Amino acid sequence: MLNCAIVIWVRWINIKITGVDVFHLRKKPRVLYWQAVFSLLMFVFMYLPILVLGFYSFNKSPYGATWQGFTLDWYRQLFGDERILLALKNSLIVAFCAVGISAVLGTLMAVGLGRYHFPGKALYRGISYLPLIIPDIAIAVATLVFLAAVAIPLLGISLSVWTIVAAHVVFCLAYIGLVVSARLTNLDPYLEEAALDLGATPMQAFIKVLLPQLMPGIIAGCLLAFVLSLDDFLIATFTAGSGSNTLPMEIFSRIRTGVKPDVNALSVILIVISATVALIAELIRASSERKSQ
């Protein structure tokens, strides 16, 4: 589901930048046939494991390999599991805090890069979007080294949920900034100039003219960043302290003894949440695009 959401955004950004929707160019019937076959195989490869996972989450047997009947007991047990509830609480705290901070900083970064000119702008733009291409393991190790060398000895900060939040802001900021930048390139800059000519201050022009137009992009970027933060395992593992497990960390700790139906049920719930958030983000994007047209 996460891959599907990223593909949706990559397609959208490509259309906004190039003005060409490569998915709807006219092609020969034979090309369209093979494209349909390839798309079908791709979807089977991507979603068949998810369907199998959902199927076995209703298995009465405590072992995933044998089917012994339909049951909802594993879903009921999840809501009474204290470790799961604590991990869910930590994941939500991390996701909401990281997205909230990144929404403010990412919007300001996108507006600054899109509307203003200053020395080193190209270099700053490249550095801002580096977390999109840097492997998660590199971000995790770099953050842990910084915390161990600077934050912990000098500032007295210990590993906790808040260090996970700080690490997640790094990549959430880049994703929100990218989505807001794509939205900004499709806006008319003369509307802000008209507001300034009519007596508005730069701050008033930003709040009353530019920000409402950017809001669909900001919301869509926040939803995407929320899914990525909720899904992250590697960076959270490196920066978490004692007792600050997130849901992905809790799932990984449980599958060490084998995949059981309760883990399947928890994974299905996460997939449904991620798919719902991605769908809402796409609906917001499509609605804003129709309004702008």
- Distance between CA 201 and CA 204 in Å, rounded? 5
2-16, 62-76, 196-210, 230-244: which range is least confident on average? Answer: 2-16
Q: How far is CA 290 from CA 112, 179, 216, 229, in A?
A: 26, 17, 12, 29
Contact 136, 233 (CB under 8 A): no
> Which residue from 168, 166, 175, 174 is spatially nearest to 278, judged by alpha carbons?
175
CA distance 214 to 56: 43
Can you give the C-alpha Rg of the chain in angstroms? 22
Query: Does residue 92 surpass a pLDDT of 80?
Result: yes
Q: How far apart are CA 222 and CA 74, in angstroms?
A: 31
How large is the average pLDDT for residues 241-260? Answer: 80
**Both tokens assigned to 98:** 């990281």
Q: What percent of the chain has pLDDT above 70? A: 85
Mapping DSSP to helix (H, G, I), strand (E, B) and coil, where does residue 70 land? strand
Encoded tokens for 253:
């700790």
pLDDT on residue 94: 94
Written as one string, the DSSP assignment of 211-240 is HHHHHHHHHHHHHHHHHHHHH--HHHHHH-
Alpha-carbon span 140 to 146, nearest angstrom: 10
Q: 180-191: b or e for each residue (b if 16 or more CB lie within 10 Å)? A: bbbbbeebeeee
Per residue in 45-86, pLDDT (tens digit) is 888 888 888 888 888 877 656 777 788 888 888 888 888 888
Diameter over CA atoms, the chain: 73
Let me know: does 5 contact 281? Beta carbons within 8 Å.
yes
Q: Which CATH number fits domain 82-291: 3.80.10.10, 1.10.3720.10, 2.130.10.10, 3.40.50.9100?
A: 1.10.3720.10
For residue 68, what pLDDT is reported? 77
Number of Cβ atoms within 10 Å of the Cβ of 105? 15
pLDDT for position 99? 94
pLDDT category at 15 given cuts 50, 70, 90 is: very low
Question: Which DSSP symbol is given to 24?
Answer: G
Q: Flag whether the pTM goes above 0.85.
A: no
- Confidence label for 25 from pLDDT (cuts 50, 70 and 90): very low
